[in-house]
Amino acid sequence: MSQTAAGAAGHSGGKPHADARGGSSHSAGASNAGASVQQPHHAGGEGASRNDGKNHGGQSHGGRGRDRRKKNRAGRGLQGRPLTQAKGALNGVSQPALTRAMSSSEQGNSITPALQSVEATLPFHDDLYAALDLGTNNCRLLIAQPTRPGHFRVVDAFSRIVRLGEGLAATGRLSNDAMDRAVEALRICALKLAAKPIRKMRLIATEACRAAANGEEFLARVTAETGLELEIIDRETEARLAVSGCSSLVGREARSIVLFDIGGGSSEIAVIRIADNRSSRLANHITHWTSLPVGVVTLSERYGGRDVTPDVFEAMICEVQGMLAKFDCPPPEAVDNGSDYDFHLIGTSGTVTTLAGVHLDLPRYDRRRVDGLWLSDAEVTAMQAKLLSWDFAGRAANPCIGPDRADLVLAGCAILEAIRRRWPSPRMRVADRGLREGLLTDMMADDGVWRRIRSRRSGSTGSGEVLRRR
């Protein structure tokens, strides 16, 4: 069960959730945001409010033939397919599949916003990167443009709860209804990708497709019906991507961090130790990691998520504690320099962002107020107790939870509590970011785009003016 970073050490500059975030479909416009590798103090990400939840280098999908895909397959490493240039299709989405997506009668009115986006959007530059994360609970897309070194600006975003893993724990297979919901969301993603000149993209699937007996069969259907080719990533890659996505929330004063991503079907935990020789890639400082085969969907299905008593809540905590007991990892080392900030937790999931939203008493979820927020140990305890005191209707009525996630949030709190008991910390930082931001950060860094931007800025005046206008 336990893993160490030794296995990842061979991947020089290597790159490493499926969580319960979500709600209604989500399309965020461009905003000034970033995910910093070179400047970890900068908070960034999607920069948009959500009704839907959360919003991650990369493969470009194009109209390549079967022979070319077979040729590339031999060179895949930890993260699957290698970086390649998009070519041969309408921005990486095959034209026949795009036509089917546009004309599909199964979409009803849900496809209308995406069609309007295709009609209204004109390409305005060639440095767009895209990341798609199909998790156990959510389907999320992020399209971004690199800005100043270490940062990016979000151009478009989409998030929808699809509950792909619904019933998976009981049957071992993805259900037809769940696959239909996911394909519908992916059709919209395909339209968004086709509407913009994507330089590179990476489209991943996580625990539900990893665990399902028909996971590969489902992805073949996705390709046939949407033109999108998704890769199933392994758990180590998922853990490393979560770390990459949150690197800008780790301050210079931090020496030890436990970063966790509570997903829908699995939960990834990474122990990070930072010495004086800090790498530009936070994932290089992972010393131990593990992936628990439990998430908010699987745990709530096992214990029931609607009516959760204190005894049921404690039983969920104990189950997760039993899994963590198998994780052979020494406690984080404190650095005796008089600082209270040497060690802390970072949580990236719908669970922690929900707690933050409830703590702030937000009338509507606001990512700008949640992402990067610090919660004390006492505040986390108080928020969990408040959620446990509410019945299902009370949780569903809260604007930061909603009916789609009211049956999942206490399972997430149980996983969080088990983590807190294993690694007590005076405070926890909330991250409304994750795999997509990690994918984007890694793609841009691997592509050297920030070096090119720096070079262009230090070059002719004309180039600098173009960058400032973007």
Q: Kindly report, residue by residue over 267-310, the tens digit of the pLDDT.
A: 999 999 987 777 778 888 999 999 999 999 999 999 999 999 99
At 58-117, the pLDDT tens digits run 344 444 444 433 333 333 333 333 323 333 344 445 545 554 544 443 333 333 344 334
Domain check: are 271 and 337 in the same one?
A: yes
Q: Is the pLDDT of residue 373 over 90?
A: yes
Average pLDDT, the chain: 75
Which residues partner with 140 through β-bridges? 133, 159
In the prediction, which pLDDT does 384 show? 95
Strands 231-232 and 198-205: parallel
- Is the residue at 366 inside a domain? yes
Residue 344: which H helix or E strand, with range?
Answer: strand 343-347
In the prediction, which pLDDT does 432 show? 92
- Is the residue at 246 inside a domain? no
CATH code at position 361: 3.30.420.150
Return the CA Rg of the chain: 21
Domain check: are 318 and 339 in the same one?
A: yes
At 131-161, the pLDDT tens digits run 999 999 999 999 999 987 778 899 999 999 9
Question: What amino acid is encoded at 95 in this protein?
Answer: Q
In the prediction, which pLDDT does 341 show? 53
Q: Is the pLDDT of residue 239 over 60?
A: yes
In the prediction, which pLDDT does 352 show? 95
At 23-38, the pLDDT tens digits run 333 333 333 333 432 2
Q: Is the pLDDT of residue 48 over 80?
A: no
Domain check: are 268 and 172 in the same one?
A: no
In the prediction, which pLDDT does 377 show? 96
More confident residue, 45 or 267: 267
In the prediction, which pLDDT does 78 show? 32
Question: What amino acid is encoded at 111 in this protein?
Answer: I
- Is the residue at 54 inside a domain? yes
- 3-state SS class at 184: helix
Query: Residue-wise over 65-92: b if at least 16 C-beta within 10 A, else e?
Result: eeeeeeeeeeeeebbbbeeeebeebbbb
Q: Which of 49-58, 95-104, 456-465 has the lowest mean pLDDT?
A: 49-58
d(C-alpha 77, C-alpha 79), whole Å: 6
d(C-alpha 381, C-alpha 16), whole Å: 31
Do 189 and 228 contact (CB within 8 A), yes or no? yes
Q: Is the pLDDT of residue 369 over 90?
A: yes
At 388-424, the pLDDT tens digits run 999 999 999 999 999 989 999 999 999 999 999 999 9
Domain check: are 45 and 125 in the same one?
A: yes
User: Confidence band (pLDDT; 50, 70, 90) for 197?
Assistant: very high
Q: Tokens 């107020």, residue? A: 369
At 242-273, the pLDDT tens digits run 998 888 888 878 889 999 999 999 999 999 99
Question: What amino acid is encoded at 117 in this protein?
Answer: S
CB-hemisphere CA count at 13 Å for 252?
4
- Is the residue at 207 inside a domain? yes
Strands 128-134 and 138-146: antiparallel
Domain check: are 265 and 128 in the same one?
A: no
Residue 142: which H helix or E strand, with range?
Answer: strand 138-146
User: Confidence band (pLDDT; 50, 70, 90) for 331?
Assistant: confident
Do 57 and 83 contact (CB within 8 A), yes or no? yes
In the prediction, which pLDDT does 455 show? 64
More confident residue, 144 or 44: 144
- Is the residue at 259 inside a domain? yes
d(C-alpha 140, C-alpha 227), whole Å: 17
Domain check: are 445 and 337 in the same one?
A: no
Domain check: are 40 and 112 in the same one?
A: yes
In the prediction, which pLDDT does 410 show? 97
Domain check: are 46 and 64 in the same one?
A: yes
CATH code at position 121: 3.30.420.40
In the prediction, which pLDDT does 454 show? 63
Q: What is the mean pLDDT of residues 343-370?
A: 94
- Is the residue at 95 inside a domain? yes
Q: How far is CA 187 from CA 19, 112, 114, 224, in A?
A: 21, 11, 9, 11
Domain check: are 330 and 443 in the same one?
A: no
Number of domains the chain contains: 2
In the prediction, which pLDDT does 363 show? 95
Give 244-300 as a DSSP string.
HHTGGGS-TT--EEEEEEEBSS-EEEEEEE--SS--SSGGGGEEEEEEES--HHHHH
Domain check: are 100 and 232 in the same one?
A: yes
Which residues are CB-contacts of 163 (< 8 A; sequence separation ≥ 6)? 136, 137, 178, 181, 297
- Is the residue at 244 inside a domain? no
d(C-alpha 261, C-alpha 263), whole Å: 6
- Is the residue at 110 inside a domain? yes
Domain check: are 135 and 65 in the same one?
A: yes
Domain check: are 255 and 387 in the same one?
A: yes
Q: How far is CA 369 from the centre of its chain?
A: 19
Helix and strand numbers, DSSP H then E, in the chain = 18, 13
The model's pTM is 0.70
Domain hosting 168: range is 18-237+436-456
